[in-house]
């Protein structure tokens, strides 16, 4: 199974548009777009295909917009990141030394 890829700046694209774009880099297993948010996720057939798609498409122009294409962060990793961040933000015991 390939890795999921995060794709940003695709507000006007359909799932078929994205599938066609990514198919140049290998087998596309799935495409899910959050149309109102302008981003989506693509799952490629192999990890190697995912890496090729990321390096080949990140920063390219598509439908008049520059794409951001990166490896997607799992929900668990994202949750752990936000927990650490929120703990730091809520720590009010730190006082200025000056």
| Domains along the sequence of the chain with CATH | 4-90 (3.30.70.330)
For 50-77, how does the pLDDT look when each residue is reduced to its tens digit (9 = 90+)? 999 999 999 999 999 999 999 998 766 5
Beta bridge partners of 61: 66
Residue 24 DSSP class: G
Predicted TM-score (pTM) of the model is 0.74
Q: Provide the mean pLDDT of the chain.
A: 83
Query: What SS3 state is found at 8?
Result: strand
Q: Is the pLDDT of residue 98 over 50?
A: no
Q: According to the model, what pLDDT value does residue 80 have?
A: 53
d(CA 36, CA 38): 6
Q: According to the model, what pLDDT value does residue 18 have?
A: 97
Residue 81 DSSP class: H
């Amino acid at each position: 199974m390939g890795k999921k890829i995060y794709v940003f700046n695709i507000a006007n694209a359909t799932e078929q548009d994205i599938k066609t774009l990514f198919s140049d880099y290998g087998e596309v297993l799935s495409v899910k777009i959050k149309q109102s948010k302008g981003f989506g996720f693509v799952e490629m057939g192999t990890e190697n295909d995912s890496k090729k798609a990321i390096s080949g498409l990140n920063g390219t122009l598509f439908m008049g917009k520059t794409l951001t294409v990166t490896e997607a962060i799992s929900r668990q990793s994202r949750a752990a990141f936000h927990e650490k961040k929120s703990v730091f933000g809520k720590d009010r015991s730190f006082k200025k030394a000056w």
